[in-house]
Amino acid sequence: MRPLWVDFHCHLDLYPDHASLVAESDRERVATLAVTTTPKAWRRNREVAAGSDYVRVALGLHPQLVAERASELLLFEKFLPETRYVGEIGLDAGPRFYKSFADQERVFSRILSACAEQGDKILTIHSVRCVGKVLDHLERSFPPGRGVPVMHWFTGTAAEAQRACALGCYFSVNAQMLTSAKGAKMVRALPQDRLLTETDGPFVDFGDRPSRPRDVGETVKQLASILQSSNEAVNELVIANLGALTRFVSP
Ligand code: MN
């Protein structure tokens, strides 16, 4: 059955009740992309989501973990043929992770090349303080037609947003991004047919607890107010966008 909601970036395996979140996504019909941060988590995540109609698992190697986990690149490449969804991957130039930036670039570039070579991949990408660099890598190593990049928690400039669109990117937006005037303005400038919703739980809170996939309805409301549209219209748009995205690279 068609999903009712879309959470295109949530770390289900970082909650104590991973399996019940999968069941909840099925019950509430939330199309949830369960992102992972290390290839070592892949098998377990796939097992937990094995019977699910609404949860898909992405194979990831988080840029913030590259300093300790770069050696898992081989494992990443081994599992890559088993999945269409990849992430969380990307680059992080924030002060805490800048030391590993050269390694991050090497890993990200290898991942993009492997994805491009295999084709039919949908990527969820982190780009903290280095949107331009991320786009440089996409331009170099991930030609449109080999898959679709989704910029997660995008904070780039208007010019960078345009460049990302030209590279075929989608954008998954969360509650926290939409609370600032700057974030709202940026999202308003994005093409509506490239918008998706995400929670980025458990890293974004909902009230006094980490957000769960079913909370994404709140983000739809925020988005509707920013786009001066109705909740229903925005939700329809996001579901249609997910449909277009997932068919895009299908045979
Ligand atoms: Mn994340």
Residue ranges per structural domain of the chain = 5-248
CA of 90 relative to ligand 1 center, distance in Å: 10
Q: Is the pLDDT of residue 129 over 80?
A: yes
Q: Does pTM top 0.85 for this prediction? A: yes
- pLDDT exceeds 60 at position 251: no
Provide mean pLDDT across the span 170-183: 96
Distance 249 CA to ligand 1 centre (A): 23
Does residue 110 have a pLDDT over 70? yes
State percent of the chain over pLDDT 70: 98
Percent of the chain exceeding pLDDT 90 equals: 97
pLDDT tens-digit map of 51-107: 999 999 999 999 999 999 999 999 999 999 999 999 999 999 999 999 999 999 999
Q: How far is the CA of 124 from the centre of ligand 1 (A)?
A: 9
Q: Is the pLDDT of residue 39 over 70?
A: yes
Distance 213 CA to ligand 1 centre (A): 13
CA–centroid distance, 86 to ligand 1, in Å, is 12
For residue 191, the CA-to-ligand 1 centroid distance in Å is 23
User: How many Å lie between the centroid of ligand 1 and the Cα of residue 152?
Assistant: 8
Model confidence over 163-172: pLDDT tens digits? 999 999 999 9
**How far does the centroid of ligand 1 lie from the alpha carbon of residue 207, in Å?**
19
The average pLDDT across 142-153 equals 96
Going by C-alpha positions, the residue among 212, 219, 225, 251 that lies closest to residue 238 is 219
Based on DSSP, count helices (H) and strands (E) in the chain, helices before strands.
11, 10
- pLDDT at residue 249 is higher than 90: no
**CA dihedral (102, 108, 109, 111) positive or negative:** positive
C-alpha 101 – ligand 1 centre gap (Å): 18
Q: Which CATH architecture has domain 5-248?
A: Alpha-Beta Barrel (3.20)
Mean pLDDT of 142-155: 96
Ligand 1 ion: Cβ-proximal residues, 5 Å cutoff: 88, 200
Paired tokens of 170: 């989608």
Sign of the CA dihedral with 190 first, then 191, 197, and 202 last: negative
Residue with tokens 């998706």: 196
Distance (Å) from CA 83 to ligand 1 centroid: 18
pLDDT value at 2 more than 70? yes
Distance 198 CA to ligand 1 centre (A): 10
**Average pLDDT of the chain?**
96
Side chain identity, residue 183: G
Residue 203 CA to ligand 1 center (angstroms) comes to 7
* CA 216 / ligand 1 centre spacing (Å): 15
CA of 189 to the centre of ligand 1 (A): 23
In the predicted model, is pLDDT for residue 250 greater than 90? no
Could you read off the pLDDT of 188-230 as tens digits, one per residue? Answer: 999 999 999 999 999 999 999 999 999 999 999 999 999 999 9
